[in-house]
Amino acid sequence: MWQLPQGGINEGETNIDAVFRELNEEIGVDFVSKCSKEVELLFEDSLEFKPKGGEAEKFSAESASNSNIKGKYYYVYLINCLNPNFVLDNKEFDECFWLEYKGAYALIQKVYQRKKKEQLLKVLDLLKSKEYIS
């Protein structure tokens, strides 16, 4: 499995605080210390889970307290790592490595979850269009 760091937003936490907390937890303090504190929102997305035998209601942040709604809301952020030499000091990921477009594209093609694959391809294409990856 290949994926980008991800996680949830805790109650009372801002999106940006959650981004850096998740990066600390999943990759480590050394990586986060070498990242720019400027964060760019690339895109937002959502996923609805249809209940068995019924139609799913539209998922939104405003209605998240409704226990009948099942889904996820995604915020995808870009953070610039200013120094690619870092110590992977947390082990939520087995390994971490840099890829060019072709290598990342090949790995994404192996992802079996449709929505995850779609989002990863969107991230990859955005990174290429912004000339962060070649």
pLDDT band at 62 (very low <50, low <70, confident <90, very high): low
67, pLDDT greater than 60? no
Instruction: Check residues 62 and 108 and name the one with the higher pLDDT.
Output: 108
pLDDT digits (tens, 9 = 90+) for 9-60: 999 999 999 999 999 998 889 989 999 999 999 999 988 877 665 555 554 5
Mention every residue, 6+ apart, whose C-beta is less than 8 A from residue 72: 46, 47, 59
Residues in the chain, how many? 134
Distance CA 108, CA 3 (A): 8
Distance CA 88, CA 29 (A): 9
* 75-79, 89-93, 95-99: segment of lowest average pLDDT: 89-93
| Dihedrals phi, psi of 52, to nearest 5 degrees | -60, 125
69, pLDDT greater than 80? no
Average pLDDT value for residue range 103-120 = 91
Residue-averaged pLDDT of the chain: 83
Long-range contacts, 1-10 (Cβ 8 Å, 24+) = 1/111, 2/107, 2/108, 2/110, 2/111, 3/111, 3/116, 3/120, 4/120, 4/123, 5/93
Q: Where are the domains of the chain?
A: 15-98
pLDDT at site 86: 85
pLDDT at site 59: 47
- Asked if 111 and 1 count as a contact pair (C-beta separation under 8 A), the reply is yes
Q: Nearest-CA neighbor of 22 among 95, 115, 90? A: 90
pLDDT above 70 coverage of the chain, percent: 81
